[in-house]
Chains A and B, each alone.
Chain A
Amino acid sequence: MTDEAGRPGRVTPLRPRRAAAEESLKRALDPHGEEALGKAYDARLIRRLWTFIRPYRRIFWLSVACLPLNAACMLAQPYILKLAIDRYVSAGDARGLGRMGLVYVAAIVGECAFFYAQYYLTMLVAQRSLADLRVRVFAHVQRLPMSYFDRHPVGRLVTRLTSDVDVLNEMFAAGAMTIFMDVLTMLGIVVIMLGLDARLALAALALMPVLVVGIDFFRRAARRTYRQIRERIARLNSYLQEALSGMTIIQLFARERRCFEEFDALNDEHREANHWSNIYEAALFSMVEALASISGALVVWWAAGDILAGAIAFGTLVAFLEYIQRFFIPIREFSIKYAVMQSAMASAERVFQLLDTPPAIVSPARAYAPERVRGTIEFDHVWFAYKGEDWVLRDVSLAVGAGEKIAIVGATGSGKTSLIKLLARFYEVSRGAIRVDGVDVRDWDLASLRRRIGVVLQDVFLFSGDVAGNISLGRPEIDTAAIEEVARRVHAWEFIGRLPGGLHERVRERGSNLSTGQRQLLAFARALAYDPAILVLDEATSSVDTETEMVIQDALATLMRDRTALVIAHRLTTIEHSDRIVVLHHGAVRETGTHRELIAARGIYHRLYELQYALADDAAAGRAAR
């Protein structure tokens, strides 16, 4: 390496520090938990893959049938050459030679045609079965419980559905599946050579042991190296991804240099693994080429005496040389196919692992799915923990009448959000039961249950698309008139009307082109259009201005009208709209009643309420002291 000053392409004065990446960093960045072994063939995985190929097995077997035909046409060619030389060239029979030429051409055409047919049919099967696999995985992921998404970052799941399945596609496309056929073809060549001349065949195959040892060495070395490469590139890319997302933080904390060093270390490790794979591959490739040449030389040497003695014909020699050439062709592609197969197995493993994750929350066999819902809710001694015995809710009991409006109040971490998530069965209660209309939510048809419950969470999620689509969520029965109607009722129409595109204004990814208040109102419109019997709402915390606040409050009142409402309230106005206040504290219901009753009781609610004043008083005291 030259010094840094002399590098014209260098845009940075930063000096790479050749340190190994820290262990903790590696652990944090391990995006896939790469399997330990890196097998290139795993019968269990192949069997599972087969379940997706099975529906298209006719096409599949048709494509498999093309393989021996393709091989036969290919293997016939050297023999035709031998006949041409021995029968016609040496006899000087030009017409016979012409006929043989035509046969040869036919063999080539056959080889190419069968090859193409085989490839085309394989790809057809691959596309169909992999499309099925993708839809299956996607549909499966739709049914996974919320707890799964808490533990698995979205990016990783996207990778399963796209890149990992694409690696499987590459397995078909690179012809890695034909690796078994390659072996048969090579065996065929050995048999033909033995048939032509056993002694010459032995000379041609004399170096086979070297080849076997060489390939075995390569397989061992490459298995580890290829796995390392996959791990390291995944790590490098997740580091990069994270750095790009958090670049502002890196810059604000003047951490560029250190991050560069970390990146450099990961980059260097990746390069090193690739250096080794280059060396292995170069050695394998050169060895195969050399063995092909040497085998040819041995055959010539051996055959020379025989030809001179008249024991064999000259054409046999030519045929042998051709067969040797063809024998080595699949071996040349071995390293590529091996790498592809290995990645494919790793990817298949991950995809199937995802498919094996049980959906956990499903409708029971005989599910309750009523026509009409009254909207009563009953929490009956509900206990809940996200994991183990870390109780988030402890023995919560609460009965809510149809049309009643409940405000849930409590400090962060008191279990408010968990309570409403349990109601829509995003999570399952650990103990006790939640009943809607007197029926345990676990006995409900999941879709029916959720259709009755309108959920508005604190962090409003908008899909890219247009405003209208975000209100209707693509349900055909909600037409433009209905959308406008609900938008007007929750005061969203005021700002929608001002957008250049109105209802058809594009909403960018996650609604980044709309303000917090606007997003909130859109979520209200969405819930109103859904017209649920029960409204569940996690009020957004105080990040909007007072004016917007008032609009939102008014919209909220509209939204709650004529339905049972369970609202996690952060604002006193919201509490005012409710019939009853439930105070959650450390996961337990500690107080219930109206605002006045609770204030009078001088309990937790009173304390929470006082806090607003207490803060203000503290501040005033601080100022007076100065």
Chain B
Amino acid sequence: MRRLWSYMIRYQGRYALGLACLLATGTLAMTVPYLLKRAVDTIAAGGPPAAVAWFALGIVAIAVAQSVVRTCSRFLIFNVGRDIEYDLRNDLFAHLERLPLAYYQTQQTGDLMSRLVNDITAVRMLLGVGFLNLVNTPIYYLYAVTIMASMDWRLTLASLVPYPLVLVIVKRTSRQLMERTLKTQEGLAAMSSRVQENLSGIHVVQAYVREQAEIDAFARLNETFSAQNMALAKVRGIIMPVMRGVSTLTTLVVLWYGGSRVIAGRLSLGDLVAFIGYLHILAWPTMALGWMLSILQRGRAALQRLEVVFQAAPAIDDRLATPLDRPLAGALAFRQVAFAYEGRASGRRALVDVDVELPAGATLALVGRTGSGKTSLVQLLPRLFDATAGRVEIDGRDVRTIPLATLRRAIGYVPQDPFLFSRSVRDNIRFGAPAADAAAVQRVAEIAALDRDIAELPRGYDTIVGERGITLSGGQKQRVTLARALLVDPAILILDDALSSVDTETERRILGRLRGVMRARTSIIIAHRISTVMEADLILVLDDGRVVEVGDHAALLARDGSYADLFRRQRLAEELEAL
């Protein structure tokens, strides 16, 4: 709630104006039944008609004035609601941009999305409609009850008799409404993830002829969802009639009791008309009360959930950083580095005691089976994670003392999973260097052996690759990510199994062209093919998070350890085939 308040303070001027308009609207609204009363009393007293005309004219004037202030009050307050929604969304996005990889590994995107979409909507409702009615309802009640009491307090009391009942009903139904709404949302989410998974694996479903089983499973979820919807509809449907029933009951009480007092001569006919008028004015705020309560509850719950996101502090903090006096050259050192993923069930350390040095401009290759820690090791360089123990250094500086943006700009990272954005090929390549000119883009595309592919795309560099690059092949995607990394002209280039979907011939071409690029910078290559790594200045063999062998190709062969073993096996298989 504190956060919300800080947003509201920003718009205090418009809130104040909106409040003033609300107050004016309320005040004007209260005069209408009074004028009506005067008109009716005049009629009942037998004239003159001209006086009635004046009162009618008064009502017209007030209605016109009221429509102006009412319009203002509504759009002022609702627009502030939209403004705060906008601020909140921006702030959340900026915050999310600073959350580390570890956070995203524990969160499901779908989950976060629904939080950002539904919860922000709930907060906006709270600020717009919620705020307006929260202010309006007490104003209207205070005004109307005071005026009514001043006319006839007995009748006022009588007309308020049904209200405790109203409150009870409102509380009950709004609770049920909220519970059931949540249920349907869960049902919809369950159905969504089912469909999502089914469609992602549709090739398996079709290949194994499981369509009918999938349809049956979906139909069951669907059935549940329909039942949840129906349960919600039952509550939603009852609110209107009940509230309407109660409010008309009130009018009835006034008519009955008030009528008898008019007959008894204790109340003027005009008073009765005014009474009914006031009750009419109160009808809507009363009916809306239940709705307001649920908006309030939902808004508060949404705020709490958003607060959880805001409280997820960026684990990678940049406070130790001091500016550099010259650009990073790229000499690397891992000193006694250990690393464990936080909260992993196994609790096993991903890296233990890694101690390596690499001069600027050299090439380091990492070899080892899946899960041996290769990716974990390179992820420490751009600080996607921080080492649990030990130090990672670039040019002798602890990476934690290098400003994060400087550090990351110095690194060209080609990750295992080639993630592309639904932009044009050009924009994807320029992702890290939006200002790069056509010639530079062309150059890196050539190195990544993309030029021919791009020429064949329908709109060349302007072809939109679709969600996650859906229109490109796996190899093409990997090559775009390579070009993207090259374009930032990094001091350190990291290829994390980056050419796995590229065929051998293209790979050879790319590696040939990369040789020139790599000569000028520090490179780290993770690969499974010995042929890809044997050229490196230094080869690390990782096993279960430990460096088990280190040296260049010749040295490792001479050492006759697991690298030599791996090499021999690959060789042996090839020789066997040659027979």
Contacts and interface: CB of A to CB of B under 8 A. Distances in A.
B113 A463 contact: no
Contact of A142 (B64, B214, B273): B214
B7 to A, nearest CB: 5
Given A138-B218, A612-B531, A612-B574, A281 B63 contact: no
A575 B411 CA distance: 40
Interface residues of B, number: 179
Contacts of B508: 611, 614-615, 618
B514 to A, nearest CB: 12
Interface stretch (A254-262, A368-376, A397-405, A560-568): A254-262
Contacts of B369: 544-548
Interface stretch (A119-127, A184-192, A487-495): A119-127
24 contacts: A7-B6, A10-B91, A24-B423, A89-B262, A108-B245, A119-B237, A138-B214, A162-B191, A162-B195, A241-B113, A243-B93, A247-B97, A293-B62, A297-B60, A411-B503, A412-B503, A451-B209, A455-B204, A455-B207, A455-B208, A510-B200, A544-B369, A615-B532, A618-B512
Mostly, the B contact residues are helix
B99 interface: yes
A242 interface: yes
Given A84-B255, A304-B43, A412-B502, A271 B371 contact: no
Contacts of A274: 79, 82
B32 to A, nearest CB: 6
B467 A153 contact: yes
Nearest to B103: A247
Contacts of B67: 286-287, 289-290
A278 B14 CA distance: 15
Interface in B208-233: 208-211, 213-215, 217-219, 222-223, 225-227, 229-230, 233
B237 A123 contact: yes
Contacts of A243: 93, 96-97
Interface stretch (B133-141, B149-157, B163-171, B413-421): B413-421
A286 B69 CA distance: 9
Interface string A234-261: 0011101111111111111111101110
B43 A161 contact: no
Interface string B78-95: 110011011101110111
**Interface-centre pick from B96, B208, B423 (highest chain A CB count, 10 A):** B208
Contact of A247 (B39, B99, B227, B466): B99
A169 B99 CA distance: 37
Nearest to B410: A254
A142 B531 contact: no
Contacts of B226: 127-128, 130-131
Given A29-B422, A97-B256, A153-B466, A281 B74 contact: yes
A155 interface: yes
A611 B508 CA distance: 9
B488 A253 contact: yes
B27 interface: no
Q: Which 7 A-B pairs have the closest CB atoms?
A: A545-B369, A412-B503, A112-B241, A12-B94, A253-B432, A9-B6, A301-B56
Interface in B351-396: 368-372, 382, 384
Given A27-B464, A282-B71, A318-B273, A300 B95 contact: no
B335 interface: no
Interface in A133-179: 134-135, 138-139, 141-144, 146, 149-151, 153-158, 161-162, 166, 169, 173
Contacts of A169: 229
A12 B118 CA distance: 22
Contacts of B68: 286
B199 A611 contact: no
A566 to B, nearest CB: 14
Interface string A395-417: 00000000000000001110000
A119 B234 CA distance: 9
Nearest to A144: B202
B280 A325 contact: yes
B431 A308 contact: no
A278 B78 contact: yes
Interface residues of A, number: 176
A473 interface: yes
A405 to B, nearest CB: 16
A240 B116 CA distance: 9
A450 B113 CA distance: 37
A88 to B, nearest CB: 8
A104 B117 contact: no
Nearest to B32: A293
B216 to A, nearest CB: 10
Contact of B553 (A128, A526, A611, A623): A623
A127 B218 CA distance: 15
A426 to B, nearest CB: 7
A573 B317 CA distance: 49
B382 A247 contact: no
A9 B422 CA distance: 32
B49 A304 contact: yes
A613 B196 CA distance: 44
B342 interface: no
A120 B3 contact: no
B10 A473 contact: no
A615 B431 CA distance: 32
A270 B117 CA distance: 13
B15 interface: no
Contacts of A278: 74-75, 78-79, 82
Given A112-B244, A278-B78, A412 B204 contact: no
B411 to A, nearest CB: 7
B452 to A, nearest CB: 11
A162 B226 CA distance: 12
Given A282-B71, A282-B74, A615-B508, A142 B503 contact: no
A203 B103 CA distance: 67
Contacts of A530: 208
A143 B198 CA distance: 12
A2 to B, nearest CB: 6
Contact of A575 (B112, B238, B577): B577
A515 interface: yes
B367 to A, nearest CB: 9
A258 B421 CA distance: 14
Contact of A541 (B74, B273, B500): B500
Interface string B277-306: 000100000000000000000000000000
Interface string A514-544: 0111000000001000100000000001111
B36 A300 contact: yes
B188 A155 contact: no
B145 interface: no
A252 B199 contact: no
A474 interface: yes
Contact of B109 (A94, A101, A241, A426): A241
Interface string B183-208: 00000100110011111111111111
**Interface-centre pick from A290, A455, A613 (highest chain B CB count, 10 A):** A290
Contacts of B372: 545
**Interface-centre pick from B63, B199, B409, B532 (highest chain A CB count, 10 A):** B199
Contact of A616 (B192, B248, B530): B530
A476 B15 CA distance: 64
Contacts of B504: 411, 608, 611-612, 615
Given A248-B384, A297-B59, A450 B207 contact: yes
A166 B188 contact: yes
Contacts of A162: 188, 191-192, 195
Contacts of B87: 9
B366 to A, nearest CB: 13
Contacts of A304: 39, 42-43, 49, 52-53, 56
Given A111-B244, A301-B52, A308-B46, A157 B195 contact: yes
B113 A240 contact: yes
A608 B259 CA distance: 103
